[in-house]
């Protein structure tokens, strides 16, 4: 049963990523910077940190962490797209934007995960 729940959560996360990405891109049509992917990875990392904190600090369900963390967050966040978008920025000569994308994605996603973890510990 956990595998089915994991698959459904992953599918939902992928659809949510598509919806958020489409919405942000429709609002920022003139920007070549991948704001949608950065935002998706940061918000997914925040949720994953919060879930991990709940499991660690409050004895939350490890199954919930698997389904929502691995499934939903895994389907929602996307390191591969962030990598691809960074390469495309380099290929189009936007080296500063590429470096900004790579660094901001990693640093802000880690910070968001830490913030989610801390938030769960404070509850």
- Local confidence pLDDT in tens for the 123 residues of the chain: 999 999 999 999 999 999 999 999 999 988 889 999 999 999 999 999 999 999 888 887 889 889 999 999 999 999 999 999 999 999 999 999 999 999 999 999 999 999 999 999 998
Phi, psi torsion values for 32, nearest 5 degrees: -95, -5
What is the DSSP code (8-state) at residue 30? T
- Enter the tokens of residue 30: 């003139």
Contact in structure between 71 and 7 (CB atoms under 8 Å):
yes
Q: Number of folded domains in the chain?
A: 1
Residue 101 belongs to what domain range? 2-122
Measured CA distances, 47 to 24, 68, 81, 83, 89 (Å) = 19, 9, 19, 21, 28
Note the pTM of the prediction, 2 decimals.
0.90
The token pair at 77 is 């966040």
């Amino acid at each position: 049963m956990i595998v089915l729940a994991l698959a459904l959560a992953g599918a939902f996360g992928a659809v949510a990523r598509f919806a958020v990405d489409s919405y942000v891109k429709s609002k920022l049509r003139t920007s070549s910077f991948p704001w949608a992917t950065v935002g998706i990875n940061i918000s997914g990392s925040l949720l994953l940190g919060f879930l991990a904190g709940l499991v660690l600090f409050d004895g939350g369900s490890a199954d919930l962490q698997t389904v929502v963390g691995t499934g939903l967050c895994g389907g929602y966040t996307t390191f591969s797209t962030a990598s691809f978008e960074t390469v495309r920025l380099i290929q189009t000569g936007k080296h500063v934007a590429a470096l900004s994308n790579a660094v901001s994605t990693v640093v802000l996603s880690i910070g968001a995960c830490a913030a989610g973890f801390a938030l769960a510990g404070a509850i």
